[in-house]
Amino acid sequence: MPSTTRRLGNAPCRGFLGALAGIVVGALSATPALAQTYGFATLPPGTLNHTTASAVAKVLKEKAGMNMLVQPTAGDNVIIPMVGRGEAEVGIANAPEIATQVEGGKLPDVRLIGTAHALRTAFFVRKDSPMRTIADMRGKKVALGYSAMRTIDLLSRAILATGGLTEKDVTPVLVPNVVRSADDFASGAADMFFFAFGAPKVREVDATVGGIRVLEIPEGGMAAARRLSKYGYLTEVRPGPVFVGVEKPMKVYSFDNVLLTSSKVPDDVIYRIIDTLVKNQPELAAVQPVLREFSAAGLYKEYAVPYHPGALKYFKEHKLEAQALP
């Protein structure tokens, strides 16, 4: 026993034990960083935003080693407070909804990362319907309300306004979100549904009902639409795999889809997110085709909501100036 005690007290053994302790401590201290998971709040599966969030999460995991957990929610009015309270580090929501949620000092910790892409939307009807324009919706069953996506209700009314219509000129079908509007349309409970191009749900409904068509928006009607929402604008689309229901070149109602975060998220995390996504844009587009238009320059626009310092650092280092809104 005495000899064993002496051997354990020798310097070489002490050195070995010290090295071993260092390895254990180092491994333990590294574990939280390796296990760090970031929440990404988004819309339900089947929506454009859920696919976008999935694409972002995949690229950040594969290219930056960041574990991003996609968290589906009922709507943008749930996503934005979640992010503002720090319950999810990142979210994606439409610009009009973000502006509404933070106006008047509400949700003071919400910060922008930047615009992901334009959100191109439409009123879809059955392909065999005689309806061609928004004005043809008069007297029809129109999805409205959107209790979980209140700004979508406002934007739907703006689209109706392009055809000279209000909710009094149609039969409202109250829905909580866009997925329900699509389901009600497929079941025959509504004569149209509102959705964004590129969403899996649009292709699903197209196959279910035997084809859908996009109602055309008159450019001259945008003045009336902007009296309801200043964030909407028209973009041109052409027939193609993403633009289901588009039979000819036309302009559709669009607004920005924006990545957001909280002021509590460290600057280096947001900088790393932007840098990784910009450097791996082709991989994003491979999962979500609408992200073909994602770019560093397109991220930075003149919104009244403050940007996260990590984003501003990236913009400054890459000499990017804020773009005016369309």
What does the pLDDT look like over 66-102, one tens digit per residue?
A: 999 999 998 888 999 999 999 999 999 999 999 999 9
Helices within the chain (DSSP H only): 2-8, 11-35, 48-64, 76-84, 95-102, 150-162, 178-187, 200-209, 222-226, 267-279, 281-287, 296-299, 309-317
User: Quick check: do 36-118+256-317 and 120-255 share a fold?
Assistant: yes
The rounded percent of the chain whose pLDDT value lies above 70 is 89
Distance CA 52, CA 199 (A): 9
pLDDT band at 148 (very low <50, low <70, confident <90, very high): confident
Domain-by-domain residue ranges, the chain?
36-118+256-317, 120-255
What's the whole-number mean pLDDT along residues 164-172? 97
CATH topology of domain 36-118+256-317: D-Maltodextrin-Binding Protein; domain 2 (3.40.190)
Q: Right CATH number for 120-255 from 3.40.50.1360, 1.20.120.1200, 3.40.190.10, 3.40.640.10?
A: 3.40.190.10
Distance CA 256, CA 304 (A): 14
Distance CA 94, CA 186 (A): 25
What's the whole-number mean pLDDT along residues 268-290? 97
